Structure 1
Amino acid sequence: MARATDAAYDAVRRMILSGEAVAGARLGEAELAETLGLSRTPVREALQRLGADGLVEVLPHRGARVVQWTRRDLEEIFELRSLLEPYAAARAARLAPGEDVLADLLGRCDAMEAAVAEGDFTRVAQLNALFHAALIEASGNRRLPAMLTSVMHAPLIVGTFRRYDAGEMARSMNHHRELVAALAARDPDWAESVMRAHIRAAAANLTKDGT
């Protein structure tokens, strides 16, 4: 059963992250079970797990649906990110990460840019999350990762990259490289400023059409 639940979880998660299951879309147990060739029990358990991840909203007696964000949700999410992530970037710069950390971050930049060139926005979002996680880890604050997990919503990040035009995407990728440069220069003010601009650009992109 655990293996079937894992299979259902992975399949539905991919549907959400790829955009196949859009925000607000209903996720019926019976339909998913038939599509995936599984019984309803592992599908139900997978939806509960996705609910705990913040990807799915489980509605009592009404099934489940892909999480949908209001403008207020977006404002609250990015307000928290704009407070926490610039702090993390500045702290990481003060701690002066080693060459291995900087090389790892640059490798993630290379991989992101390759995914952009391929038009694989789900992959871009995954790599972006790994980049931010590595930078947050470099801050040395053990509580920050858990705090940011609650606001680093994967579908929201995928949506951001899908909405970027070529110029906005290039700016986002440049921000990542500039963050690495700021860490290498051990300049906390620079790192904080770049991260704040990075988060604000993402927020502006998602709310520019009055979402």
Structure 2
Amino acid sequence: MGEKGGTAAESATAMLREMILAGELRPGARVHQDHLSEDLGLSRTPLRTAMATLARDGLLDYEANRGYRVKQFSVDSIRSVFEIRSVLESQACRAAARRGIGRGVLDTMDALVRRGDELLSVGRLDPDRLPPYRKMNVDFHNCILEAAQNPWLRDFVDRTHNVPMVSDRVILWDDYDVIYRSHDDHHRIARALRRGDGERAALVMYEHVAYAGELLVTRLEADPDAAFKLLSAGAEPPLAMSAD
């Protein structure tokens, strides 16, 4: 029983964390435990544990007599964290190239790039293809971080990914030209690392992350409601939250 309960709580925590970091649960929105229980097919006990865990991790705020809300970060904070993330992930490229990347890791990166090609082959990124594309993106970035073999660097990058809207899980999937450019960066980074050119890979990675941040901040400043509606459109099942 204890093991099953622990597994359910861990699963609930992972699912909620993913939804928050991907922007599917809007910052400031109240999280409804009953709705989540029904939507995710989980009992209330592991959900309560998950919410408490995510509150300790700084992703949820608890309000007495009102429950949990997704933690809010200002647009300036999001912009600042993207600046840090772009520097850190570019340094990961340098570190990975300097240490030497094994053939198996390079082959994995190439396979991930090909997976992205397949998902974009229809000339757009439909909502049903968003989850696998997001996974490809996360795995690609993680592959480089693991190849860097620097636990301190990984820890600091993970901290930036723990800020909603800054994580590599956030995909503005409605603009194919932007998605295509972003995935072309993956190609360029993989090619540079295969050649052992850490500086070139670092330059592309810096631009890759910085551009994503600039685009997201522009969207948030222009029409935050539209930006969050877009991010939540790829969520399945419907999101259990409200702005009250």
- In which range does the TM-score fall when normalised by the shorter chain? 0.7 to 0.9
CA contact (8 A) 1:33 1:43 kept: yes
Counterparts of 2:100 and 2:62, CA distance in 1: 46
Counterparts of 2:168 and 2:131, CA distance in 1: 6
Which amino acid letter does the alignment assign opposite residue 154 of structure 2? P
Aligned to 1:180: 190
Task: Identify which of 33, 39, 45 aligns with 1:41.
Answer: 45
Counterparts of 1:8 and 1:126, CA distance in 2: 18
TM-score (norm 2): 0.73
Task: Give the 3-state SS of the residue equivalent to 2:149 in structure 1.
Answer: coil
Counterparts of 1:53 and 1:114, CA distance in 2: 35
Task: Give the 3-state SS of the residue equivalent to 1:22 in structure 2.
Answer: coil
Superposition deviation, residue 176 in structure 1: 0.8
Task: Indicate whether 1:133 and 2:136 are aligned.
Answer: no
Taking a change above 3 Å as real, the CA distance of residues 136 and 34 of structure 1, as seen in their structure-2 partners, is: closer
Counterparts of 1:18 and 1:91, CA distance in 2: 27
Task: Identify which of 59, 62, 76 aligns with 1:59.
Answer: 62
- Considering only aligned residues, what root-mean-square deviation do their CA atoms show, in Å? 2.8
How much identity, in percent, do the aligned residues show?
Answer: 30
Counterparts of 1:24 and 1:79, CA distance in 2: 23
Task: Give the 3-state SS of the residue equivalent to 2:88 in structure 1.
Answer: helix
Aligned to 1:190: 200
Deviations 1:164-210, CA, capped at 9 Å, x for gaps: 61111111111111111111111122111111110111011111132
Taking a change above 3 Å as real, the CA distance of residues 91 and 64 of structure 1, as seen in their structure-2 partners, is: same
Q: Which runs of 5+ in 2 are unaligned?
A: 225-244
Taking a change above 3 Å as real, the CA distance of residues 200 and 141 of structure 1, as seen in their structure-2 partners, is: same
Aligned to 1:200: 210
Which amino acid letter does the alignment assign opposite residue 101 of structure 2? P
Taking a change above 3 Å as real, the CA distance of residues 110 and 8 of structure 1, as seen in their structure-2 partners, is: same
TM-score (norm 1): 0.83
Aligned to 2:172: 162
Task: Identify which of 139, 147, 151 aligns with 2:156.
Answer: 147
Q: Which runs of 5+ in 1 are unaligned?
A: none
Taking a change above 3 Å as real, the CA distance of residues 27 and 132 of structure 1, as seen in their structure-2 partners, is: same
Which amino acid letter does the alignment assign opposite residue 62 of structure 2? L
Superposition deviation, residue 150 in structure 1: 1.0
User: How many pairs does the alignment contain?
Assistant: 210
Deviations 1:47-71, CA, capped at 9 Å, x for gaps: 12333555x3132313112343321
